[in-house]
Amino acid sequence: MKNVIHTTHAPEAIGPYSQGIALDRLVFTSGQLPLVPETMVMVEGGIKEQARQSLANLKAVLEQAGACTNTVVKTTCFLADMNDFVAFNEVYTEVFGTEAAPARSCVQAARLPKDALVEVEAIAYRK
């Protein structure tokens, strides 16, 4: 049975979707934008600040589902500009490290919601 994941520690969905879905031990998150959950306003700054906020939002959804960054098996990362790849990786490594980092796809998107610089989604398992 699928369970809808919802937390006030991540931005509300801005469309007809859930922040995440849990199915048995698997957790699927929606793409997390760099919105501050309390204000629904884009965090100020460039790619590093936006990446940190997106990943903090991702972490909040995972934790609400009973998962964590250590149980993430796959991420998909969308960048508005692939020239931000190196800077994004610096922040991504702060969260996931390098030794047992999840499988990942990272692509440039023509345009992200709210003109964000980054959006990150994940698949994880619950402990």
User: Which residue range forms the structural domain that includes residue 39?
Assistant: 2-125
| Segment 41-86, tens digit of pLDDT | 999 999 999 999 999 999 999 999 999 999 999 999 999 999 999 9
- State the pLDDT confidence band at 127, using cuts at 50, 70 and 90: confident
Neighbour count for residue 72 (Cβ, 10 Å): 24
Residue 92, both tokens: 């991504």
| Contact (Cβ atoms closer than 8 angstroms) between residue 75 and residue 121 | yes
CATH number at residue 56: 3.30.1330.40
Q: How many domains, the chain?
A: 1
Q: For 5-46, what is each residue's pLDDT tens digit?
A: 999 999 999 999 999 999 999 999 999 999 999 999 999 999
Give the whole-angstrom CA distance, residue 54 versus residue 60: 10
Asked if 71 and 64 touch (Cβ cutoff 8 Å), the reply is no
The mean pLDDT of 101-115, rounded to a whole number, is 97
Report the predicted TM-score, pTM, of the whole model to 2 decimal places. 0.97
Q: Residue 49: which H helix or E strand, with range? A: helix 47-64
